[in-house]
Chain A
Amino acid sequence: MTSAQSDLELEEKGTRAGTSYLAEGYTLRSWLTTRDHKRIALLYAVSITLFFFLGGIAAALIRLELATPQGDLVSADTYNKLFTAHGVIMVWLFLIPSIPSVLGNFLMPLMIGARDLAFPRLNLASWYLYLAGGAIVLWALLAGGVDTGWTFYTPFSTMFSNSHVVLALTGVLVVGFSSILTGLNFIVTVHTMRAPGMGWFRLPLFVWANYATSLILVLATPVLAMTLVLVAIERMFQVGIFDPALGGDPLLFQHLFWFYSHPAVYIMVLPAMGVASEIIPCFARRPVFGYRFMAYAILAIAVIGFLVWGHHMFVSGQSVYAGMVFSLLSFMVAVPSAIKVFNWTATLYKGRISFGAPMLYALGFVGLFTVGGLTGLFLAALALDVHLSDTYFVVAHFHYIMVGGSVMAYLGGIHFWWPKVTGRMYSEAWGRLAAVVIFAGFNLTFFPQYLLGYAGMPRRYHSYPEEFQLLHVLSSAGAVTLAVGYLLPLGYLAWSLRYGRAAPANPWQATGLEWQTASPPPVHNFAQPPVVARGPYAYHTQ
């Protein structure tokens, strides 16, 4: 592969390679039985978007209730069910599959020069499992909802809650199998399907990030699965595992739950880091700074991320020595994260920066991730955590990581690869506008929550003292802005599908392998098997 190929040549190659994957078949059946990773990615995209807006509706109702200090819109009970629905849907049905299953599915084979993932049928099966799990969760919500919070803490979830806990657990369990199969597929694909010349240190950082994420998916999800089974057993057969009244230990549940759920945070944010690492070099026209360290940092985050779960239990009565070790390890995981932030920033240095819509999202990601990460250090400090535990400070912190980080990066990735995926250009002006609206709306929603938490507002309450109202109203106003920001792309991206200008093979002059084939790519990705002769970020400033 040479860097001097023109779009025209590539276009010709694409045509010679056969029809585009979108033209492979137009029937519903051709989509539902497809084994093409690109089509499965689109199936995921449609389904997670549905769940994103469902979870968003729950969030909107929460913010509406909190606009006044009294609990006047919904009852306390309904409020509990709303934040549980919001959490369960957003974590398991949107964030965890978002970047890996949509962008990862579409791009991993293209980026390493493969024809497909190693196990295409397994890939389709994992989408069906995702749908089945999602349907079960929906069933639980429609049947009356769940009020435990997304964390399913015992003994409330096993002994006291009168809601559809077991049904919701089953849904999450099934979605978990879908995650495991996707992770397995990615790991095997990266190990065995790389094109000739594509050594490990020529992999784009997006591939590294999804590889590390897959390791977590494969190794942590089974622990969650069995933990949820134990919760169901205790709930159904009244035997003591986690309930102290029956001789169990609630802390045991928290250890097992967070052994999965803390690494799950990295499942959500590592792929986002991968997306930022593709967009920033391209829009700064600079090779990514410290490529190898970026790759090592990704792996370090994945590994250390397995060892910090205890920082969720500082005030639960676990041993103070355990608390100190977990605190130290939590500070350590910040080191590779900081390396990444420094390197993204250093990549910009002396670059020729242009502020296309994907770049705005990526820069938004870096800023918001930094704020979320730094406030994470507040919470990793033992003494401070006593004050901040279970307050809105925690809520703000993890929303900065998951919404400010992951959702921003997901949207950035959607814009960046939209021309490749659909073969159409979206409206740049609208794209930039939406990015700015989302950034502003996000900060307005969640920054006041840091202040609320610091002032002592606990999470998960539907009414509150009047002195908190100003900050809550600001936050709710931000949520409205954010909602507008999220609806905008739905409009202009859909518009582009029909009226958008046809996209060239490489509209951003990017250097990744995925841009060396037609837009949209042919069924088997490349006209002829690519041979790789250079690293992934061969940008040069003139």
Chain B
Amino acid sequence: MSPMNTRIAEQFSSREQQAFAGTFGMWVFIASELLFFAPLLFGYFYLRTHYPAACAVASRHTDFLLGTANTAVLLSSSFLMALAAQAAEARRRSRARWLLVAVAALGVAFLVIKGVEYHAEFQEQLFPGAGFRSQAPPGMELFFLLYFALTGLHALHLTVGILVCLAMAAGLRHPEPQWPSGEAVEFAGLYWHFVDLVWIFLYPLVYLVGRAGG
């Protein structure tokens, strides 16, 4: 606990209560966020049970190398995020600031790599809709629809995360008790790890599953 780190809002009776409410609120928020992915994952489950062959074919069209590289990028960013939260908690604001900038930079790198992938998939007529390739087996278009929806929703979350990191990095230029407090950086960290964790599940579902076996 870092005393005098934050002001107590008037609805709370103590700093501990405020910190508990903030952390707990973040976890509830994450639980809700997770459910946003649920319909898409349910659709994926439906696809895998109804069109296993098309799923395997479609999966081979994803870029395994770039997907794996992106996983490494995101995991590294989460590591730096953990360090940033620790630094902010220890009130080393300048260190926390540069770590947050690095986290945001890795986030941007992820989006750039994802963009390269998207571009290639557009070229190969894998984007669902009127322009989708004509000889594809039934189910392949649905795979790519879910692929773009899942990774797009993930990218949207990541973009929000990047903006939060940058805003906090800007705020950390000012000394305490200016926003953000150590707690606030920790909350941003929880969110970032959540976004990372979603990717950890998307990666095998999208890139790996169909490749194994015949």
Contacts and interface: CB of A to CB of B under 8 A. Distances in A.
Interface in A104-159: 114-120
B10 A188 contact: no
Interface string B30-52: 01111111111011001000100
B20 interface: yes
Chain A binding site: helix, strand, loop or mixed by DSSP? Answer: helix
Contacts of A237: 128-130
Contacts of B186: none
B72 interface: no
A320 to B, nearest CB: 18
Interface string B120-151: 00000000111010000011011001000100
Contacts of A219: 31-32, 35
Contacts of A220: 35
B13 to A, nearest CB: 7
B11 interface: yes
A238 B25 contact: no
A188 B21 contact: yes
Interface residues of A, number: 41
A362 B42 CA distance: 40
Interface in B153-168: 153
Nearest to B19: A192
Interface stretch (A224-232, A428-436, A459-467, A485-493): A224-232
Contacts of B35: 218-223
Contacts of B129: 237-239
B28 A256 contact: no
B24 A188 contact: yes
Chain B binding site: helix, strand, loop or mixed by DSSP? Answer: helix
A112 B17 CA distance: 15
Interface in A185-216: 187-189, 191-193
Interface in A437-466: none
B29 interface: yes
A256 B171 CA distance: 41
B16 to A, nearest CB: 10
B25 A252 contact: no
A60 interface: no
Contact of A239 (B20, B25, B37, B145): B145
Contact of A188 (B9, B13, B25): B25
A151 to B, nearest CB: 16
A115 B11 contact: yes
Given A233-B149, A252-B46, A238 B39 contact: no
A225 B141 contact: no
B40 A222 contact: no
Contact of A240 (B12, B17, B29, B142): B142
A241 B43 contact: yes
B29 A249 contact: no
A317 interface: no
Contacts, number: 104
B144 to A, nearest CB: 9
Interface string B41-82: 011001000100000000000000000000000000000000
Nearest to A119: B25
Contacts of B40: 226, 230
B36 A225 contact: yes
A349 B182 CA distance: 56
A188 B36 contact: no
B9, B25, B40: which has the most chain A beta carbons within 10 Å?
A: B25
B142 A241 contact: yes
A248 interface: yes
B39 A120 contact: no
B38 A239 contact: no
Given A237-B129, A241-B142, A247-B141, A226 B38 contact: yes
Given A115-B11, A192-B21, A227-B39, A184 B46 contact: no
Contacts of A387: none
B126 to A, nearest CB: 12
B42 A255 contact: yes
B88 to A, nearest CB: 21
Nearest to A529: B13
A399 interface: no
Nearest to A237: B129
A56 B145 CA distance: 40
A239 B11 contact: no
A223 B145 CA distance: 17
Interface string A244-286: 0001110010011000000000000000000000000000000
A184 B21 contact: no
Given A115-B10, A237-B128, A529-B13, A230 B21 contact: no
Contacts of B153: 226
Interface of A: 114-120, 180, 183-184, 187-189, 191-193, 218-223, 225-227, 229-230, 233, 237-241, 247-249, 252, 255-256, 524, 529
14 contacts: A115-B10, A180-B32, A193-B11, A218-B28, A221-B32, A223-B38, A226-B39, A230-B40, A233-B149, A237-B130, A239-B132, A239-B141, A241-B142, A241-B145
Given A119-B21, A184-B32, A188-B21, 12 more contacts: A119-B25, A184-B28, A188-B25, A189-B21, A191-B21, A192-B20, A218-B35, A219-B31, A226-B153, A247-B138, A249-B46, A256-B42
Interface of B: 9-13, 17, 20-21, 24-25, 28-29, 31-40, 42-43, 46, 50, 128-130, 132, 138-139, 141-142, 145, 149, 153
